[in-house]
Amino acid sequence: MYPFSRKIFAATVLLSMNIMAMPLYAADYSITPNKKEFSLKLGASRVIYHSGSNGAMLSVSNQQDYPILVQGKVYAEDKKSASPFIVTPPLFRLEAGQQSRMRIVRTSVADAPDRESMQWICISGIPPKDTDVWAKGNTSKPATAVTVNLEISTHSCIKLLVRPSGVKGMPTDVAADLTWKRQGSKIYAHNGSPFYMNLSSVTVGGKPVNDLNYVAPFAERSFTLPERASGKVEWKIITDVGGESRVFQSPTSI
């Protein structure tokens, strides 16, 4: 699956070069770099969607000094398939230094009533094209310059955890009930709760386990053991508000 702590971030770099009409024999033209990063700041690292609600909100901020086109989509747990949720507005212009809110709304119900389900909210900051009407202020450079435009488009995905009304409490209430077993060079975590357990740290005999991920409800997940690690397992999970829980410890060594 996708390694994930607080959010998944990918950047797509779009490089374009505008060379104004000029004689090929000219040698005194200056090169002007022009870099713009179309990044956005999200107001949360995860969204908890309670079944039966009218929707959930996510704030988004543009900390740049130029406008950004914001696009929001929701995908299924595999980050590819369609999701029974939409983001509204799905596409809008966010002015420089401004903040707005996006609403996540369910379009159909197909979740198991006894456990959480997970989707992904993905928000993109889109660079404008020269012909885009919304991108006012784009001006051509003088014919005596070669302009290299480096535009960095960012994509941030956070978890959308859908919690049925029949699932009471919070993950931290039952995080201590995770069970662990050792098998060869692997350590297995078993989650017998209806919540997604998003592990933020795991140690075995004080040695950290790397490449952590979440453990789905009523499921098991394996991780690679640190070399020559043995002893009690200690772990923390990410809370509903994106913080870190207290330390939990296994009753026996592995």
> Which residue is it, tokens 């207290």?
246
User: Where are the CATH 2.60.40.10 domain residues in the chain?
Assistant: 8-163, 171-253
Mean pLDDT of the chain: 85
Rounded Cα distance between 93 and 219, Å, is 41
Residue 223: pLDDT over 70: yes
Residue 35: pLDDT over 90: no
**Averaged pLDDT for residues 84-105:** 97
Residue 20: pLDDT over 50: no
Superfamily of domain 171-253: Immunoglobulins (2.60.40.10)
Query: Facing residues of 34 across strands?
Result: 149
Higher local confidence (pLDDT), 2 or 110: 110
Rounded Cα distance between 236 and 186, Å, is 19
pLDDT at position 37: 72
pLDDT at position 146: 64
| Residue 206 pLDDT grade (very low, low, confident, very high; cuts 50, 70, 90) | very high
| Residue 152 pLDDT grade (very low, low, confident, very high; cuts 50, 70, 90) | confident
Q: How do residues 116-135 score in pLDDT, each as one tens digit?
A: 999 999 999 987 666 666 55
* Count of H-run helices and E-run strands, the chain: 1, 19
pLDDT at position 127: 74
Q: How do residues 76-90 score in pLDDT, each as one tens digit?
A: 999 999 999 999 999
Sequence letter at residue 165:
S
**Averaged pLDDT for residues 182-207:** 98
**Averaged pLDDT for residues 100-126:** 93
Strands 41-42 and 56-61: antiparallel
| Residue 2 pLDDT grade (very low, low, confident, very high; cuts 50, 70, 90) | very low
Residue 151: pLDDT over 60: yes
Residue 29, token pair as written in the block? 């033209």
pLDDT at position 126: 87
CATH architecture classification, 8-163? Sandwich (2.60)
pTM over 0.95: no
Give the count of beta carbons closer than 10 Å to the beta carbon of residue 147: 17
